[in-house]
Amino acid sequence: MIHCRIQQALQSAVAAELPDADLSRVLVRPCDPKFGDYQSNALMALAKQRKMNPRELAAAVERRLDVGEWCDSVEIAGAGFLNFSLRPAAVAAQLQAAARGEHLFFVPSSTPRTVVIDFSSPNVAKPMHVGHIRSTILGDALARVLRLLGHRVIADNHIGDWGTQFGMLLLGWKTQLDESALATHPIDEMERLYKAVNSDESLRDAARAELVKLQSGDEENRAIWQRMIELSQEQFDTIYNRLGVGFDYTLGESFYNDALVGVIAELEEKNIAEESEGALVVKFTDDPKLKKQPAIVRKSDGAANYTTTDLATLEYRQREWSPDEILYVTDGRQQLHFQQLFAIHKRWKPEVVANLVHVWFGSILSHDRTPYKTRSGEVVRLSALLNEAEERAFTVVTEKNADLDEAARREIARVIGIGALKYADLSNNRQSDYIFDWDKMLALQGNTAPYLQYAYTRVRSIFRKGDIENIDASAIILNELEELALAKHLLNFGQVLENVAAEYRPNYLCNYLYELAGHFAAFYEACPVLKAGDEKQSRLLLCDLTARVMRQGLAVLGIEVSEQM
């Protein structure tokens, strides 16, 4: 890609001028068109370190720079910025290569990584609620982007299938199960059982006894517990199917039960963990952030906990898949847990160098900025949320296309409703809370999925109007400003994908696609396509590439498109 070539050329020029420079920081980025197409600010930092005059350094590097193949001009600006302006012919050459199917403005990584993504991870016997949606959607989008860029991704659903709640569930199951309710609404029934036992103080001991029996391998309790997992998994799968989300593994917490004793023993042996008030804890005395918060790895009743399980999980993943990176996609409230986990792991296995990242996110809020709930104050279930998204989209679709038959409208509504829900999540900075707003996410204007899906169908409809089978890949002409702007934007697709993968932020891609739709609208407004003369082939090609990038971009966000809307 041109952008990489320019960056490489700049790095060679810098290396020739300053042999000791750290080239990994010599970067070129797309910039405000006021300044050019790409910009580098690397020389100012390099000059500062060496107490050199930045503009003089920029001039010296510029003299060594060989980018004539791609750039019209290289300008030294301000305090020592380098601004690059692309040659239209070089832009056209990239478009032609894309039209010939050589690339779609991105290249697979030359250094593929193995990345484990731990996401979604709902809890057994509880309904999946709106809190799990961010993890599911965000994790899936990251998996798709990383795979597109050629990385090996292992999607692992670390479901919560073990813990004290099973004591209450088992007791409830044995004493007050409603079989017919279980048959029709298993999750609701299990939730009811849990609540019934949990709210009755007098049942504490009996529930505790059921838990102990489960833990010691009692056959009846194991069988009921298995059944609860199966019923839950069916619910999860229904949701995942509707969302188009898949996993390579579902290794829940219970999978690591047998490893916990060994983990605890090793932590004691290596003097990482110590006794404190009956519990076994890890203290972080030399970590200013964690100093005040020791992590418990064995509770005073002898039981392991979430941290112990996560340590065993980490060790397993490391041994099984040797990942370069493990991403944990959860709520921001688990930040302390993951900081402690990573810190313990570093002391436990200092030789392991995998990059451990907590990809955390904020909350979904109602208009009054409290956590998003139903009108009666209950947590919102994911299944109800998906139904409502499709139902509302159906109303919008029906308004626009009253003449389509119902099945077709339902299918379009599914694509739009689910897409809108996903996009509303992905287009926000993941670390900020956002307000859940049906009208905003389903709007056909603004930075929404329906707007982008609609832009896609508009481009595609151009092809339906003229019978255009074979577009000539050599036909690119970029005379109009709007044509050139659109073409240059297409060129930046790969760079954006890489930024998403580097910072785990799909919102960069959302912004890019929104801008793409804007560039396309401006182009379409200024440049006739089907009625054009010599430019017709070239403009059709621009349309086709726009549609392909739009579709590919939405696809890695997990969002489908429809040919008709």
Q: Least distance from C-beta 126 to ligand ARG, angstroms?
A: 9
Q: What is the CA radius of gyration of the chain?
A: 28
Q: Does 235 bind ligand ARG (CB under 6 A)?
A: no
Q: Does 252 bind ligand ARG (CB under 6 A)?
A: no
Q: Does 330 bind ligand ARG (CB under 6 A)?
A: yes
Q: Least distance from C-beta 420 to ligand ARG, angstroms?
A: 25
Q: Does 317 bind ligand ARG (CB under 6 A)?
A: no
Q: Does 123 bind ligand ARG (CB under 6 A)?
A: yes
Q: Coil, helix or strand for 530?
A: coil
Q: Does 328 bind ligand ARG (CB under 6 A)?
A: yes
Nearer to ligand ARG, 345 or 460 (CB): 345
Q: Least distance from C-beta 334 to ligand ARG, angstroms?
A: 7
Interface characters, 459-498, with ligand ARG (x: CB under 6 A): ----------------------------------------
Rounded Cα–Cα distance for residues 367 and 433 (Å): 12
Nearer to ligand ARG, 76 or 263 (CB): 263
- From the list 36, 139, 160, 419, which residue makes contact with ligand ARG (rule: CB under 6 A)? 160
Nearer to ligand ARG, 165 or 453 (CB): 165
Nearer to ligand ARG, 158 or 519 (CB): 158
Residues, the chain = 565
Nearer to ligand ARG, 41 or 250 (CB): 250
Three-state helix/strand/coil letters over 478-489: CCCHHHHHHHHH
The label of the residue with tokens 């302006």 reads 85
Nearer to ligand ARG, 158 or 548 (CB): 158
Nearer to ligand ARG, 124 or 540 (CB): 124
Rounded Cα–Cα distance for residues 486 and 267 (Å): 57
Crossing angle, helix 260-269 and helix 306-321, to 10 degrees?
90
Nearer to ligand ARG, 31 or 259 (CB): 259
Crossing angle, helix 54-64 and helix 42-49, to 10 degrees?
120
Q: Are strands 38-40 and 29-30 parallel, antiparallel or unpaired?
A: antiparallel
Q: Does 118 bind ligand ARG (CB under 6 A)?
A: yes
Dig out the tokens for 484 from the structure: 């050139």
Dig out the tokens for 332 from the structure: 């921001």
How would DSSP label each residue in 124-188? TTS--BHHHHHHHHHHHHHHHHHHHTT-EEEEE---B--STHHHHHHHHHHHH--HHHHHH-HHH
What pairs with residue 282 in β-bridges? Answer: 273, 295
The CA distances from residue 419 to 113, 235, 246, 396, 546, in Å, are 29, 21, 16, 14, 19
Nearer to ligand ARG, 330 or 427 (CB): 330
Query: What are the φ/ψ torsions at residue 467 (nearest 5 degrees)?
Result: -85, 95
The window from 88-96, 118-126, 275-283, 520-528 that contacts ligand ARG (CB under 6 A) reads 118-126
Rounded Cα–Cα distance for residues 538 and 476 (Å): 4
Rounded Cα–Cα distance for residues 517 and 513 (Å): 6
- From the list 3, 129, 151, 158, which residue makes contact with ligand ARG (rule: CB under 6 A)? 158
Q: Does 140 bind ligand ARG (CB under 6 A)?
A: no
Q: Least distance from C-beta 347 to ligand ARG, angstroms?
A: 19
Q: Least distance from C-beta 123 to ligand ARG, angstroms?
A: 5
Angle at 385 between CA 384 and CA 389, to 5 degrees: 115
Nearer to ligand ARG, 61 or 311 (CB): 311
Q: Least distance from C-beta 348 to ligand ARG, angstroms?
A: 16
Q: Coil, helix or strand for 11?
A: helix
Q: Does 37 bind ligand ARG (CB under 6 A)?
A: no
The window from 117-125, 257-265, 316-324, 470-478 that contacts ligand ARG (CB under 6 A) reads 117-125
Nearer to ligand ARG, 125 or 149 (CB): 125
Rounded Cα–Cα distance for residues 7 and 38 (Å): 10
* Contact call for residues 385 and 133 (beta carbons, < 8 A): yes
Dig out the tokens for 369 from the structure: 């900025």
Buried b (16+ CB within 10 A) or exposed e, 437-446: eeeebbbeee
Q: Does 121 bind ligand ARG (CB under 6 A)?
A: yes
Interface characters, 60-99, with ligand ARG (x: CB under 6 A): ----------------------------------------
* Contact call for residues 345 and 333 (beta carbons, < 8 A): no
Count the residues of the shown chain that bind ligand ARG, applying the rule CB under 6 A.
9
Q: Does 250 bind ligand ARG (CB under 6 A)?
A: no
Which are the contacts of 63, defined by CB distance < 8 A and separation ≥ 6?
Answer: none
The residues binding ligand ARG (CB under 6 A) are 118, 121, 123, 158, 160, 310, 313, 328, 330
